[in-house]
Each structure stands twice: as structure tokens, then as C-alpha cells.
């Protein structure tokens, strides 16, 4: 690289630094006005450049997820595609935990004053304990929602879908992760 090219590079660097200085001066001025109470509240969010997590760590055991995510500043939970999902970012790592939500069908017929169960089907055999206890493997209680479907042969199928209560999940996660409830959101963290 010749002398003229080096001077051009140095000029470019100086110009970029001047632009950054102007931007910083503007931001400092806006912050001073804001804290002095003379500036309007911004209507658009200011995005801070935050380093994105380098890795997503998918954990299969709740105990390990809980251990690694105690004290996070933000955690999120949701049910999507019959999966209960929890995620959190800590120390530039995105942690994720998920487990399947069960569903159940009970086929029955009416016989005099009784209902006789003919068959019980669970979405997967490994989910049977969750169905019986009404508690996910991680320890969060699940609520049941059901609907009865009449069959042409006079019998019926009762379809049971398991769900979680948002407020209960928020309280449970706050306790499990030792964080304030306001740091738990019903949604997801996108990286």
C-alpha cells in the first residue's frame, strides 16, 4: 500500500470517528434533555446493540435447565405444537427446555345410569404419568379441557387436552428460577 493510499485510509477513519462523535453528542444531548424533563418521551424504542447469544443449549432435563438459568433477567414460556417450551438467555447462551403436552381420548358408552369406559388412549405411552397426575415432568401443573363427541353407534368419545394457566406458569417459573414475576413472559425469545 502506497503513501497516498495510507493517507486515504487514515482520512476515512477520521471521518468515521467524527460521525460517531456527532452521533454520541446528539444522544448525550437527548439524554440530558430527557432526564431534565424537557424532552418528549420517545415513541419508538431505542435499540441497544446487544451481543446475540453464540449458542443455543437445548436441555432435556428440567433440573439442569433450572440450575443453569437461576437468576436470569428474562425467561419466556409458551405452548406451541403441543410442546411446553421455556427459554432464557444467560451469559451469552440461549437455554431452551421443552416437553410434550399430552392429550387423551376416553371412549365410553352409556349403560343404564352409568358410563362404561371402553378404551382410554393417550397420545404417547410415555405421557401416561402426566395424564394421571396432571403434572408435567418439570413439575408444573397442567389443567384439562375436554369436549364430548357423540358417535353414530350411540357411544361417545371424551377428548381431553392438557394446557397450562399463564398466571400459574408465571408464578411457578419465578419461583423455580428465583426471578421476579415481571421478568417472566408468556411468549418466546427469538434469537
Domain limits, the chain: 1-49, 55-100+169-186, 103-163
CATH class of the region 55-100+169-186: alpha beta
Structure-block grid coordinates of residue 7: 493517507
Rg (CA), the chain: 27
Q: Kindly indicate the confidence band of residue 141, based on its pLDDT and cuts at 50, 70 and 90.
A: very high
Please, what is the angle between helix 62-69 and helix 166-177, to 10°?
70
Predicted local confidence at residue 46, as pLDDT: 47
The predicted model gives 148-157 an average pLDDT of: 89
Q: What is the DSSP letter of 133?
A: H
pTM attached to this predicted model? 0.67
How many helical (H) and strand (E) elements, i.e. helices and strands, does the chain have? Answer: 4, 9
Instruction: Determine which of 35-39, 62-66, 159-163 has the lowest per-residue pLDDT on average.
Output: 35-39
Amino acid at each position: 500500500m502506497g503513501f497516498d493510499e495510507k493517507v486515504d485510509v487514515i482520512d476515512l477513519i477520521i471521518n468515521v470517528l467524527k460521525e460517531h462523535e456527532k452521533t454520541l453528542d446528539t444522544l448525550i444531548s437527548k439524554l440530558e434533555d430527557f432526564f431534565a424533563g424537557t424532552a418528549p418521551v420517545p415513541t419508538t424504542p431505542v435499540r441497544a446493540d446487544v451481543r446475540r447469544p453464540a449458542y443455543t443449549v437445548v436441555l432435556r432435563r428440567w433440573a439442569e435447565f433450572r440450575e443453569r438459568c437461576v437468576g436470569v433477567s428474562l425467561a419466556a414460556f409458551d405452548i406451541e405444537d403441543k410442546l411446553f417450551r421455556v427459554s432464557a438467555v444467560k451469559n451469552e447462551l440461549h437455554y431452551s427446555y421443552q416437553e410434550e403436552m399430552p392429550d387423551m381420548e376416553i371412549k365410553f358408552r352409556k349403560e343404564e345410569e352409568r358410563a362404561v369406559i371402553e378404551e382410554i388412549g393417550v397420545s404417547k405411552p410415555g405421557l401416561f404419568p402426566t395424564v394421571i397426575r396432571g403434572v408435567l415432568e418439570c413439575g408444573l401443573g397442567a389443567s384439562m379441557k375436554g369436549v364430548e363427541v357423540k358417535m353414530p353407534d350411540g357411544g361417545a368419545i371424551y377428548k381431553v387436552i392438557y394446557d397450562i394457566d399463564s398466571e400459574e406458569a408465571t408464578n411457578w417459573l419465578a419461583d423455580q428460577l428465583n426471578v421476579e414475576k415481571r421478568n417472566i413472559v408468556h411468549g418466546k425469545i427469538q434469537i
